Amino acid sequence: MIYFDNAATTGHKPITVVNAYNYDLKNISANPGRSGHYLSQRAANIVYKAREKISDFFDSDGPETVVFTANCTTSINYVLKGVLSKGDHIIISDLEHNAVIRPVKSINVDYTIATVSLNDDSETLRNFENSIKSNTKMIFCTAASNVIGKILPLKKIGELCKKHNILFGVDAAQGAGIIPIKMNEMNIDFLCVAPHKGLYCPMGFGVLIARKPINKTIIEGGTGTNSLELFQPTTMPERFESGTVNLPAISTINAGIEFVKSNANIMFKKENSLAKHLYNCLKNEDYIFYSNPNNNGYVPVISFNHLDTQSDIVAQFLNDKGFAVRAGLHCAPLAHKKIGTVLQGTVRFSPSIFNNIGEVDMFIYTLKKFKKH
């Protein structure tokens, strides 16, 4: 199967990632930070080195700011539910995933949805600034839309947050590894990462990087320390790591980040050229595109439809022909309201560095043969 669903998870992992996972599972299956024996300490060391690597890569303040969670959604929940309280106001964008919207709704705080301009970042910034109230505690937004690939102006939003003394949180599920994200430089306080996407690691763990305190916990339990204390320890990162972490997956962080770093110069360029090729070859056919990869400010995640055909029908047709894409609403209803595709959904094409132009040509050829049933 030809895999173009890399925004859901990167379908092919680098061999270095696979080897790191296999090696760890085979040789170091011990619980990190729980026991004192050699293997447990070796496991703890692997986790620590992964924290260092992540902190360096995202320009954070050290390994203790890096928390391993169950997934990126969990990381987002930790931030929103841990920081916001009754009476607070938060600003989110109109491209947010349900991973952001649903926690915001559940904690019942005042919120404003700021409109992202698809071609003018200054307008986006004005929309965020105009949404600020006296009780605004945080701006939380995606790094890039998982539906249309629009990159948000993180550095400018970070400056805005600094100016107004507001916390800044970023859902980097679609941005991490694809675009440079530097927490100090961009004034990002909380970064939530899905390593199984742009960092090419396995599924089963997420990352939360917190440069500012998170007061409340939503999960409490064993941390391997202070066992006689019946309250959750305050020390980071263990405060947010009750229960055993996914060591084999975490052990792949070094390989994943090194893979991204060593391909940084060609990765975005190659993936974007594949997205452009698809767009340029089909834009004059019976296909509607909701973003143009020829424009700057987009990651190579593009949505399209065949006229008014339901997106899942096109995706099923493609599946039958051997192509993996995702159809539907992509858990991002606000984005679909914005582009007018709530009822139809979209077909999402998201290549990785492992795809090539020949595969896209076959995809285009197949789509040209699609006839509405």
Partner 1 sequence: MQRHIISVSSITYAIKGRDFLRKHGYKAHIEKKTDINGNVGCGYVIVSFGNREKIVSALSVANIKILEIKSFA
Tell me the angle at which helices 357-369 and 311-320 cross, rounded to the nearest 10 degrees. Answer: 120
Q: How far is the CB of 140 from partner 1 (least distance, A)?
A: 26
How many helices (H) and strands (E) in the chain?
Answer: 13, 13
CB closer to partner 1 out of 46 and 95: 46
List the one residue from 11, 180, 233, 333 that touches partner 1 (CB under 8 A).
233
Q: Does 35 bind partner 1 (CB under 8 A)?
A: yes
Task: Measure the CA–CA gap between 96 and 276, rounded to whole angstroms.
Answer: 24
Distance in angstroms (rounded) separating the CA atoms of residues 307 and 295: 23
The DSSP line for 279-299 is: HHHHTTTTEEESS-TTSSSB-
Which of 33, 153, 206, 248 binds partner 1 (CB under 8 A)? It is 33
Residue 296 and residue 299: Cα distance in Å, rounded? 9
Residue among 48, 268, 354, 370 that touches partner 1 (CB under 8 A): 48
The token pair that represents 38 in the structure block: 């050699």
User: What CA–CA distances, in Å, run from 163 to 83, 141, 159, 171?
Assistant: 20, 17, 6, 21
41 binds partner 1 (CB under 8 A): yes
45 sits near partner 1 (criterion: CB under 8 A): yes
Size of the site for partner 1 (CB under 8 A): 24
- CB-nearer residue toward partner 1: 44 or 186: 44
- Report the distance separating Cα 139 and Cα 130, nearest Å: 12
CB of 69 to partner 1, least distance (A): 15
Omega of the bond leading into 180 within 30 degrees of 0 (cis): no
> Closer CB to partner 1, residue 235 or residue 262?
235
CA distance 111 to 92: 7
Under rule CB under 8 A, residue 238 binds partner 1: yes
Min separation Cβ 24 and partner 1, Å: 17
Q: Which of 7, 58, 63, 157 binds partner 1 (CB under 8 A)?
A: 63
Amino acid at 330: H
- The CA–CA distances, whole Å, from 99 to 41, 108, 322 equal 34, 15, 30
- In this chain, which stretch among 59-67, 243-251, 308-316, 345-353 interacts with partner 1, using CB under 8 A? 59-67
Return the bridge partners of 167, or none.
138
Query: Which of 9, 12, 39, 64 touches partner 1 by CB under 8 A?
Result: 64
The distance of Cα 160 from the centroid of its chain, to the nearest Å, equals 22
At closest approach, how far in Å is the CB of 63 from partner 1?
Answer: 6
Token couple for 276: 């452009």
Q: Which is nearer to partner 1, 122 or 235 (CB)?
A: 235
Residue 225 interacting with partner 1 (CB under 8 A): yes
237 binds partner 1, rule: CB under 8 A: yes
Residue 223 is a binding residue for partner 1 (CB under 8 A): yes
Nearest CB to partner 1, comparing residues 66 and 325: 66
Q: Which of residues 256-315 bind partner 1 (CB under 8 A)?
A: none
Which of 61-69, 107-115, 133-141, 247-255 is the region at the interface with partner 1 (rule: CB under 8 A)? 61-69
Query: What is the distance between the alpha carbons of residues 206 and 99, in angstroms, rounded to a whole number?
Result: 13
For partner 1, the closer CB: 224 or 328 = 224
- Using CB under 8 A, which of 26, 86, 215, 228 touches partner 1? 228
Least CB distance from residue 235 to partner 1, whole Å?
4
CA angle 305/328/360 to nearest 5° reads 50
- Among 229, 265, 320, 358, the residue binding partner 1 under the rule CB under 8 A is 229
- Find the part of the chain contacting partner 1 (CB under 8 A) among 30-38, 263-271, 290-298, 322-330: 30-38
DSSP letter for each residue of 255-279: HHHHHHHHTHHHHHHHHHHHHHHHH
What percent of the residues of the chain are helix, what percent strand, and what percent coil, each to the nearest 5? 40, 15, 45
Smallest gap, in angstroms, from Cβ of residue 205 to partner 1? 16
* 44 binds partner 1, rule: CB under 8 A: yes
Interacting residues toward partner 1 by CB under 8 A: 32-33, 35-36, 41, 44-45, 48, 51, 62-64, 223-229, 233, 235-238
